[in-house]
Amino acid sequence: MQRKLITPAAELPVSLGALKDHLRIEHDDEDVSLESYLKAATKHAEQVLTYRAFMTQTWQLILSDFQDEILLPYPPLQSVNKVTYRGKAGEEHEVDASMYIVDTDSEPGRIVRKKDKSWPTDLDQHNSVTIEFTAGYASSDDIPENFKIGLLMLTAHFYENREPVLVGSMINTLPFTIEALFERVYTV
């Protein structure tokens, strides 16, 4: 299973202004650095801490074959744009949407084959199935508050600890408070 980002989020989940308020910074001298830290914190929170998409983005999930139920990473799932597969002769085919149900209510979202339908079987051998989907919250207003606060705290941590923090003979990990705000409840 592979994941490929096709269209990244057009905006960040928290504003630079909210970050500066959180850090109590009143000048603009470090805006570029702050935005870089915020981007890094967002990526870390999405791909390591929560395994979800905060803002709308388009992804591809690449599989070797079809399954009756396919869990899609990076919730919340907004939509499935298309499902394609590569046949044995190397040609690409799009699977008709009448073959499956898209469940955007579950978390993670999923594609379920309809009971009276069958997935194509004439697949090439490896990485033949590609699912393009849109994930993330439609607006920053929809993001749960714990994730927003976690992003502010994680970005502040990156900003204030620009080098690894050595505590005794160990390098300090993320503070518990930050990890708790981003608690992950599933894995795909």
Structural domains present in the chain: 2-54+140-181 (1.10.3230.30), 57-135 (no CATH)
Mean of pLDDT values over 71-97: 95
Name the token pair of 21.
Answer: 């308020």
List, in sequence order, the alpha helices (H) in 12-97.
16-23, 31-44
pLDDT at position 186 over 60: no
pLDDT for the residue numbered 162: 72
Model confidence pLDDT, tens digit, residues 152-167: 999 998 898 776 666 6
Specify burial of residue 178 (Cβ count, 10 A radius: 0-12, 13-18, 19+).
Answer: buried
Question: 132: which strand partners?
Answer: 60, 82
Specify burial of residue 135 (Cβ count, 10 A radius: 0-12, 13-18, 19+).
Answer: buried
- pTM, to two decimals: 0.85
Name the token pair of 134.
Answer: 């849109």
Q: Are 57 and 43 in contact (CB under 8 A)?
A: no
**How far is 94 from 63, CA to CA, in rounded Å?**
15
Q: Are 1 and 139 in contact (CB under 8 A)?
A: no
List, in sequence order, the alpha helices (H) in 8-124.
16-23, 31-44
The CA-based angle 40-45-50, given to 5 degrees, is 160
Q: pLDDT: is 65 or 170 the higher one?
A: 65
Between 145-160 and 31-44, two packed helices, what is the crossing angle to 10 degrees?
120
